[in-house]
Amino acid sequence: MHRGTGPSWQMSLSDPDDLVLALYVRDACGLAARPDVPRLAPPVPSSRAAADSANLGEQWSAWWSALLENRPQGRAWYGAFVTEQLGSQPPPSDHADLLPIGPDLMEALVSLLRPAMRWRATNRYRPRRGPEVPREVALLETYLVKDIERDIGRRAHPFAYRLEVVPVRGRWFVDLSPTDLLASEELVADSDSYRDVLRPRLTALA
């Protein structure tokens, strides 16, 4: 989380477990769905979970669209689904209605949840922090907003911006809304490219 001084702006960063699970299922099952979204990196092991279903790709695409269209709902679904599958406590009774999930996709999800979580545990996003990281890198967003404020000649208006980072190949990103960005780890790790993507979006909000 980055905040401006006073009631100015805030920017949050997260690595979304629900989206990573979705991409894991797509890649593990060898689905051709949404080729505009790169494959996970490193590659995930292939699986035969529901691989014979002709409907799986269509069901996955509908689920992915629903995850992106309503991020709070997607995060709520993931928490309820993991709770149910791991059996730690009874899940909310309505969790199955949160998202459109067909029977073939549900079969794949149940089969691949634990492998996906193991893969995730060794490929968790690590923000660039610590004494060895230059301040201009660790505080890139803060310095960028200060640059924008100098350019526009005033303090930035209050805004909240959310960045979600997924471990896919290449310098990739997509706008989910004017205040939400989904981007690859590789893009965020490239300070120049990351700054170039953020600048016009934060300027529009400032």
Contact 16, 24 (CB under 8 A): no
Average confidence score pLDDT of the chain? 87
What is the pTM for the complete model shown? 0.88
Per-residue confidence (pLDDT) for residue 84, from 0 to 100 = 85
Question: What's the per-residue H, E or C state across the chain?
Answer: CEECCCCCEEEEEECCHHHHHHHHHHHHCCCCCCCCCCCECCCCCCCCCCCCCCCHHHHHHHHHHHHHHCHHHHHHHHHHHHHHHHCCCCCCCCHHHCCCCCHHHHHHHHHHHHHHHHHHHCCCCCCCCCCCCCHHHHCHHHHHHHHHHHHHCCCCCCEEEEEEEECECCCCEEEEECCEEEEEHHHHHCHHHHHHHHHHHHHHHC
Backbone angles phi, psi at 134, to 5 degrees: -60, 145
Tens digits of residue pLDDT in 177-203: 999 999 999 999 999 999 999 999 999
Residues 32 and 110 in one domain: yes
Tens digits of residue pLDDT in 111-160: 999 999 999 999 888 766 555 555 665 689 999 999 999 999 999 999 99
Where does a domain end: 121, 156, 181? 121
Residues 46 and 114 in one domain: yes
Residues 35 and 115 in one domain: yes
Residues 171 and 115 in one domain: no
Mean pLDDT of 35-53: 83
Residues 183 and 198 in one domain: yes
What domain count does the chain have?
A: 2
pLDDT tier at 1, thresholds 50, 70, 90 = very low
Residues 101 and 42 in one domain: yes
Tens digits of residue pLDDT in 90-111: 555 555 566 778 889 999 999 9
Domain of residue 53: give its range: 18-121
Where does a domain end: 121, 149, 178? 121
Rg of the chain over all Cα atoms, to the nearest angstrom: 19
